């Protein structure tokens, strides 16, 4: 475990593999942490890669430097955190690989700063940049049902519920989102320690409120959010991975599955895999990363 000052955070991260290897940044989602990449980072390190695996804002040992910094979970903040980490580590270019919140951070940097990105691995929905202006338009009922946890967190009851029952809440999401993954209690407990971060509840609830336009973002990221609102295409080489048993991400087929990419993109759907793809299918995730380095 290492720590570094990066933007508004003192970011805790793992640094796995040879220091002179090609850089790969592995980015976890909600409600997960760096343990999602334990096996992926081992495979990549054995292949000669340097893997940087950070705890996102609000998770594990990562902390805000200033007590007055808004505990924002907005997409612009996640992207800014990733860019700041690359700068702090003096990494000029890297493969960015993530899912859920981490995939969103990777997509933000790939869209706005493509010169810093060798390639992108993003799990469904692939182009993971939120269209906040359209967030108020209702989806089909089945898609709405899968988002119950987001609507729950919009209110003060949800805030209090997450604060009081953060481990039970997150474990339920693991079960619903990866119904075919028989994860061990030890695997969940190793990650659940990250939910004790004092900023976890504030960052999580802000994220699920901001994406629906219910709360304001941190003003320091307003310019980034304005650029993201333009829905800029992602031009870097990309591999999109989908879990056939994913219990939360909307299923997409054909052109819709790779919408938003102007550069070379491929997509693979993994049988018997749910939402937490790197932890459920680490070999396939690592293969996707290595395919981008082979080009």
Question: Does residue 185 have a pLDDT over 80?
Answer: yes
DSSP string, 80-125: HHHHHHHHHTT---EEEEE-THHHHHHHHHHHH-GGGEEEEEEETT
**Distance of alpha carbon 124 from alpha carbon 147, whole angstroms:** 15
Q: Which of 273, 247, 269 is nearest to 258 (CA)?
A: 269
pLDDT in tens, 105-143: 999 999 999 999 999 999 999 999 999 999 999 999 999
For residues 59-88, average pLDDT: 98
Domains annotated on the chain, with CATH: 2-293 (3.40.50.1820)
Question: Does residue 250 have a pLDDT over 80?
Answer: no
> Under a CB-based contact definition with an 8 Å cutoff, are residues 10 and 65 in contact?
yes
Model-level pTM greater than 0.95?
A: yes
At 254, the pLDDT band (50, 70, 90 cuts) reads confident
At 290, the pLDDT band (50, 70, 90 cuts) reads very high
What sign does the CA torsion over 271, 104, 292, 32 have?
Answer: negative
For residues 143-150, average pLDDT: 96
> Residue 255's pLDDT is what?
82
**Distance of alpha carbon 171 from alpha carbon 167, whole angstroms:** 6
CB atoms within 10 A of CB 245: 17
> Residue 278's pLDDT is what?
98
* Strand 94-98 with 117-123, pairing: parallel
What sign does the CA torsion over 178, 179, 180, 182 have?
Answer: positive
**Distance of alpha carbon 40 from alpha carbon 34, whole angstroms:** 11
The radius of gyration computed from the CA coordinates of the chain, to the nearest angstrom, equals: 17
Contacts with 25 (C-beta within 8 Å, 6 or more apart), sequence order = 51, 52, 53, 54, 82, 85, 86, 91, 94, 95, 96, 97, 98, 106
For residues 194-200, average pLDDT: 98
Per-residue tokens: 169: 């809440």
């Amino acid at each position: 475990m290492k720590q570094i000052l990066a933007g508004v955070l003192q970011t805790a991260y793992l640094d796995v593999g040879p220091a002179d290897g090609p850089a790969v940044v592995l980015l976890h989602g909600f409600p997960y942490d760096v343990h999602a990449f334990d096996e992926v980072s081992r495979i990549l390190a054995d292949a000669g890669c340097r893997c940087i695996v950070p705890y996102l804002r609000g998770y594990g040992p990562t902390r805000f430097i200033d007590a007055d910094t808004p505990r924002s979970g907005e997409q612009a903040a996640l992207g800014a955190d990733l860019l700041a980490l690359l700068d702090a580590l003096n990494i000029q270019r890297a493969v960015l690989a993530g899912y859920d919140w981490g995939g969103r951070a990777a997509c933000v940097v790939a869209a706005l700063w493509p010169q810093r990105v060798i390639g992108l691995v993003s799990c469904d929905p692939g182009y993971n940049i939120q269209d906040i202006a359209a967030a108020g338009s209702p989806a089909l009922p089945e898609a709405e049902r899968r988002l119950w946890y987001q609507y729950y967190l919009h209110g003060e009851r949800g805030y209090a519920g997450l604060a009081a029952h953060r481990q039970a809440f997150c474990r339920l999401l693991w079960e619903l989102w990866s119904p075919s993954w028989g994860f061990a209690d030890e695997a969940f407990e190793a990650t659940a320690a990250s939910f004790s971060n004092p900023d976890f509840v504030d960052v999580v609830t802000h994220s699920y409120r901001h994406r629906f336009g219910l709360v304001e973002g941190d003003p320091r990221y307003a310019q980034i959010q304005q650029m993201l609102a333009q829905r800029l295409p992602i031009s870097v080489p990309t591999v999109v991975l989908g879990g056939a048993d994913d219990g939360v991400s909307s299923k997409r087929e054909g052109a819709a599955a790779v919408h938003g990419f102007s550069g070379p993109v491929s997509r693979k759907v993994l049988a018997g895999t749910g939402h937490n793809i790197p932890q459920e299918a680490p070999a396939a995730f690592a293969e996707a990363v290595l395919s981008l380095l082979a080009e």
